[in-house]
Amino acid sequence: MRVVALMLALTFAQDKQDEILFEKDVVYGTGSGEELKLNIGRPKDLSGPTPCVVIIHGGGWAAGNKSGHDAQVRDLAKKGYVAATVGYRFAPKHVFPAQVEDVKCAVRFLRANAEKYQIDKDRIGAVGFSAGAHLSMLLGTMDKGDGLEGEGGHADQSSKVNAVVAWFGPTDLTTPDWPNQSGKLIIQLCGGTKEEKLDVYRKASPLSYVNAGDAPTLLIQGTKDVLVPWTQATYMADALTKAGVYGRVDLIMGAGHGWGGEELKRTADETTAFFDQFLRGKKK
């Protein structure tokens, strides 16, 4: 996942520092007594409420760094968005639902501070990569009644986002087709095997929460991904279709768990276009 983040970072030119406001290590809440932090950027010349994109890094729910997506924050700010890259607690020290509680808290923090950061509270999207894609889909499918909000702060705000882009993310942790390496990460996340923790596996699966009120979702997936089977994207597509939720699946033939070159530029542009469509109302 670090390689993917680096490849993504290299696709974006560094913005001039005077074009945007960028803050590092903003405390957005607490989890298990730990401060939770995000990096946030926005254009300097905003005149009113603006769509916001939350970026969630990957790393098998056990590693990664929010700062690996600072370049994407700056790029989105250059394009007129407020954007934040979010840190969260890691397994195995913190098992599920710690990770989703944290990213939910981040969304609630942004809504609670909408006036300060000039965010449109009704136009917040999430994009994630691998484990981060899994968390972004939970943000797009879970309702407050589903629980797992945690106690990080700003309980009066909604944690559900309005659009999701998921790059090669797990959607159903209960399926039997997980490669050995991924299966170990899922066991670590859930605190036990599927036989021991089936209820946790179900609660940790975005597929479990799909209903008609969910966020439009774009799933981007390689067909030769050795960590996340491409069928994870089609499982989610089937569930979204049955619920009447708009979405798209971009299956990249022969691509693995991340890619580079022109394909990376195309899918990065596709991501921005999806947010333009659903957070700005620009129909493509």
Residues 217-274: tens digit of each pLDDT: 999 999 999 999 999 999 999 999 999 999 999 999 999 999 999 999 999 999 999 9
Res 48 pLDDT > 90: yes
- Cα end-to-end span (Å), the chain: 30
- For 81, phi then psi, to 5°, come to -100, 155
Average pLDDT along the chain? 94
**Do 169 and 134 form a contact (C-beta atoms < 8 A)?**
yes
pLDDT attached to residue 283: 45
How far is residue 220's CA from residue 189's CA, in Å, rounded to a whole number?
23
Alpha helices in the chain (DSSP H): 2-10, 70-78, 98-112, 114-117, 131-141, 180-190, 198-203, 231-243, 261-279
Local confidence band at 18 (pLDDT 50, 70, 90 cut-offs): low
Local confidence band at 1 (pLDDT 50, 70, 90 cut-offs): very low
CB atoms within 10 A of CB 162: 21
pLDDT attached to residue 276: 98
**CA distances from residue 229 to 184, 226, 249, 261 in whole angstroms, order as listed:** 15, 7, 14, 22
Q: What is the pTM of this model?
A: 0.93
Mean of the pLDDT values across residues 153-179?
97
Res 8 pLDDT > 60: no
Q: DSSP 3-state assignment of 246?
A: coil
**Do 58 and 128 form a contact (C-beta atoms < 8 A)?**
yes
**Do 52 and 82 form a contact (C-beta atoms < 8 A)?**
yes
Local confidence band at 5 (pLDDT 50, 70, 90 cut-offs): very low
pLDDT attached to residue 281: 84
Q: Which of 9-13, 75-79, 205-209, 240-244 has the lowest mean pLDDT?
A: 9-13
Res 2 pLDDT > 50: no
How far is residue 86's CA from residue 69's CA, in Å, rounded to a whole number?
9
Domains and CATH numbers, the chain: 2-279 (3.40.50.1820)
- For 86, phi then psi, to 5°, come to -115, 135
Res 275 pLDDT > 90: yes
Local confidence band at 42 (pLDDT 50, 70, 90 cut-offs): very high
How far is residue 136's CA from residue 104's CA, in Å, rounded to a whole number?
9
Question: For 216-231, how does the pLDDT look when each residue is reduced to its tens digit (9 = 90+)?
Answer: 999 999 999 999 999 9
